[in-house]
Amino acid sequence: MGLVIALNKGRILKECLPLLAACGIEPDEDPHVSRKLIFSSRSGGHQLIITRSADVPTYVENGVADVGVTGKDTILEYGGAMGFYEMLDLGIGRCRMMTAGPVGVPEPAGVLRVASKFVNITRTFYQQRSRQVEVIKLSGAMEIAPLLGLADTIVDIVDTGNTLKANGLEAREKICDISTRVIVNRASMKTKFDEVREFIDRLATVV
């Protein structure tokens, strides 16, 4: 039995498939067209699971997948028992996790209201700064929260910063750099050591 690899849907999947193909791992159907979520590789040696970003660490930690490919933001937000190793930075999907707020408006001195879908990352960041915050969980369109008076500031992924500017916000503090990472289940690292090592080495060469 080859490796079971969990892949992040969306942009990461699109950028990751050519890297896997260069390593000789290609799905037997086009994931962008097929409605299937589990694919065998053309060689028959591996299996690919296509899933939401937040679920990749869960599949890997619980041993459903041997290997996962997802963003550093997902790994940091996941937390958990971390039953996996972070093995490789693929250098794709680069962006930054930032705080942002209305241009020219200082943060209030009291409790700071922060809107984000990255609740754990946000809490950890402000705890390290001994800043008291109220974290407001949103699933998307964080930029409008300060405009509507829901929050004083936001924590979100910033690429070009154009969306912030369009909504009257400015990037402030960088929390961390984000890129796509390869994670490996701890048990698989022992039971499938040779296969995992070969896969990581080949990917590193391609990257």
In three state form, how does the secondary structure of 153-175 look? EEEEEECCCHHHHHCCEEEEEEE
CA dihedral 122, 124, 128, 129 (to 10 degrees): 20
**Residue 14 and residue 83 in one domain:** yes
Task: Tell me the per-residue pLDDT of 158-207, one tens digit each, with 9 for 90 and over.
Answer: 998 999 999 999 999 999 999 999 999 999 999 999 999 999 999 999 98
Identify the segments of the chain with pLDDT beneath 50.
none
pLDDT at 1: 64
**Residue 24 and residue 63 in one domain:** yes
- Number of domains the chain contains: 2
**Residue 143 and residue 193 in one domain:** no
Q: What angle do CA 19, 88, 118 make, to 5 degrees?
A: 100
**Residue 185 and residue 162 in one domain:** no
DSSP code at position 37: S
Identify whether the C-beta of residue 121 lies closer than 8 Å to the C-beta of residue 73.
yes
* C-alpha closest to that of 16 among 59, 62, 67: 67
**Residue 118 and residue 136 in one domain:** yes
As a whole number of angstroms, the distance between CA 100 and CA 194 comes to 45
**Residue 166 and residue 190 in one domain:** no
**Residue 153 and residue 88 in one domain:** no
Task: Decide: helix, strand or coil at residue 152.
Answer: coil
Q: What domain range includes position 80?
A: 4-93+179-206
pLDDT at 165: 95
Q: Which residues contact 74 (CB under 8 A, 6 or more apart)?
A: 8, 53, 54, 56, 57
pLDDT at 82: 75
**Residue 171 and residue 183 in one domain:** no
**Residue 35 and residue 99 in one domain:** no
Nearest 5°: phi and psi at 70? -160, 175
Task: Decide: helix, strand or coil at residue 36.
Answer: coil
**Residue 107 and residue 202 in one domain:** no
CA atoms within 13 A on the CB side of 206: 21
**Residue 156 and residue 100 in one domain:** yes
Full-model pTM: 0.90
**What is the CATH number for 201?**
3.40.190.10
**Residue 10 and residue 73 in one domain:** yes
Task: Decide: helix, strand or coil at residue 186.
Answer: helix
